[in-house]
């Protein structure tokens, strides 16, 4: 699914430059969304391009653009001052956002603004945004719109992850977020049934499994090759990389290792075909963590998922490549 195509009109309350808006949304979905999934990308893009308010709002767009401005990447043809523009987007959100709004886009907007202020070291205000999301969830407006259950589930899961990570670094007990839907929306079991094929283990290693592994590996490689140079070069002249970018790179390395690692235990499989790839990606992930993330941000505040990824990479290196 591609990021939203350039559009004009009702979403752009801060700037009329649609190229800048489109650039920022591309940055958000490429580098923030994979780590913090507060919105459903497919539904958001549909509403954005069709000017529908079901799963998009000008406040949410401004919040996402404010977050993307932290990446501070320039593109040919865009002369914007992203630092100043980020402040304008944030100010616009704070003027318009309403804690009494019961819509799912309001919940998502508060969640994104939590990230914005957290990266600006405004922890007190960021915490208030996160607390507000929990309050709105108890009285969220239920829509009959197609896809609402899917969107609400993604938002609940994203907020749950944020609350857990925030509780870890502030030594608090995270709020209990009910991951079941209100009456009439259906259960998570129904949603999981449609994705059961991704969770079931198939012991028959004939025919399609090797091809599926190779296809997934190709998709990983294509994603990595498509990274913007300013972000892929974390050791370049652009200064310290952002923590969520480093987390994304660590998770990428771990994903490749996790995909191929079971092949090392497969009897009769020529392990020399994947050994170098597994070793290189495991070492690369640990390099990003030790030489960049830990030195720049310390390991105390790393996301929970990154902790498990790092532990997995250490285990693979210790067991197979001592």
CB atoms within 10 A of CB 290: 12
Check whether residue 188 and residue 212 sit in a common domain.
no
- CA dist 212 and 303 (Å) reads 29
The whole-chain average pLDDT of the chain stands at 81
Check whether residue 206 and residue 179 sit in a common domain.
no
In a domain, 12, yes or no: no
- CA dist 101 and 242 (Å) reads 32
Q: Which of 193, 211, 227 is the last residue of a domain?
A: 193
Q: Give how far Cα 322 sits from Cα of 6, 274, 309, 319, Å.
A: 50, 17, 18, 6
Check whether residue 69 and residue 169 sit in a common domain.
yes
Buried b (16+ CB within 10 A) or exposed e, 247-265: bbbbbbbbbbbbbbbebee
Give the tens place of pLDDT for each residue, 35-59. 888 999 999 999 999 988 899 999 9
Q: How many domains does the chain have?
A: 2
Check whether residue 174 and residue 79 sit in a common domain.
yes
Q: Which of 151, 169, 193 is the last residue of a domain?
A: 193
- Helix ranges, 69-226 (H): 82-96, 104-119, 123-137, 148-170, 188-193, 196-199, 208-225
In a domain, 22, yes or no: yes
In a domain, 7, yes or no: no
pLDDT band at 239 (very low <50, low <70, confident <90, very high): low
Higher pLDDT, 234 or 91: 91
Which H helix or E strand runs over 21? helix 18-27
In a domain, 5, yes or no: no
Check whether residue 90 and residue 52 sit in a common domain.
yes
- CA dist 175 and 43 (Å) reads 27
In a domain, 238, yes or no: yes
Check whether residue 109 and residue 175 sit in a common domain.
yes
DSSP state letter for 290: I
Check whether residue 138 and residue 267 sit in a common domain.
no
Can you tell me the mean pLDDT for 79-91?
85
Check whether residue 222 and residue 181 sit in a common domain.
no
Give the tens place of pLDDT for each residue, 147-180. 898 999 899 989 988 888 788 667 778 787 665 5
Q: Which of 134, 168, 193 is the last residue of a domain?
A: 193
Check whether residue 175 and residue 31 sit in a common domain.
yes
- CA dist 180 and 309 (Å) reads 27
Domain that includes residue 99, residue range: 18-193
SS3 assignment, position 8? coil
| Angle at 197 (CA atoms; ends 164, 313), nearest 5 degrees | 50
Check whether residue 223 and residue 178 sit in a common domain.
no
Yes or no: say if 23 and 78 are a contact pair by the CB < 8 Å rule.
yes
Position 192 pLDDT exceeds 70: no
Check whether residue 310 and residue 169 sit in a common domain.
no
> According to the model, what pLDDT value does residue 300 have?
65
Higher pLDDT, 220 or 78: 220
Yes or no: say if 317 and 278 are a contact pair by the CB < 8 Å rule.
no
In a domain, 9, yes or no: no
Position 83 pLDDT exceeds 70: yes
> According to the model, what pLDDT value does residue 109 have?
97
Can you tell me the mean pLDDT for 107-130?
91
In a domain, 2, yes or no: no
Can you tell me the mean pLDDT for 75-97?
83
In a domain, 3, yes or no: no
Check whether residue 143 and residue 221 sit in a common domain.
no
């Amino acid at each position: 699914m591609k990021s939203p195509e350039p559009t004009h009109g009702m979403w752009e309350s801060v700037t009329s430059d649609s190229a800048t808006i489109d650039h920022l949304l591309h940055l958000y979905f490429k580098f923030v969304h994979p780590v913090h999934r507060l919105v459903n990308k497919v539904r958001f893009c549909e509403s954005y391009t069709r000017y529908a308010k079901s799963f998009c709002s000008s406040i949410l767009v401004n919040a996402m653009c404010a977050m993307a401005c932290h990446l501070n990447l320039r593109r040919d043809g865009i002369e914007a001052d992203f630092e100043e523009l980020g402040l304008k987007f944030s100010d616009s959100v704070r003027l318009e956002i309403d804690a009494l709004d019961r819509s799912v886009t309001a919940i998502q907007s508060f969640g994104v603004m939590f990230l914005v202020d957290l990266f600006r070291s405004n922890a007190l205000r960021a915490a208030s945004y996160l607390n507000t999301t929990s309050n709105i969830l108890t009285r969220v407006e239920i829509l009959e719109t197609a896809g609402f259950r899917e969107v609400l589930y993604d938002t609940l899961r994203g907020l749950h992850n944020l609350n857990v990570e925030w509780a870890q670094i502030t030594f608090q007990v995270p709020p209990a977020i009910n991951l079941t839907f209100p009456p009439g929306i259906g259960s998570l079991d129904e949603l999981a049934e449609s994705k059961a094929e991704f969770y079931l283990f198939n012991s028959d290693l004939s025919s399609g499994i090797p091809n599926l592994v190779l296809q997934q590996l190709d998709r990983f490689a294509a994603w990595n090759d498509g990274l913007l140079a300013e972000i892929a070069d974390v050791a370049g002249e652009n200064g310290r990389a952002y923590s969520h970018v480093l987390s994304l790179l660590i998770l990428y390395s771990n994903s490749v290792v996790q995909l191929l690692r079971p092949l090392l235990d497969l009897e009769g499989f020529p392990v020399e075909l994947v050994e170098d790839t597994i070793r290189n990606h495991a070492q690369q992930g640990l390099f990003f963590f030790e030489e960049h993330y830990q030195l720049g941000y310390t390991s105390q505040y790393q996301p929970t998922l990154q902790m498990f990824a790092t532990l997995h990479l250490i285990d693979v290196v210790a067991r197979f490549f001592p």
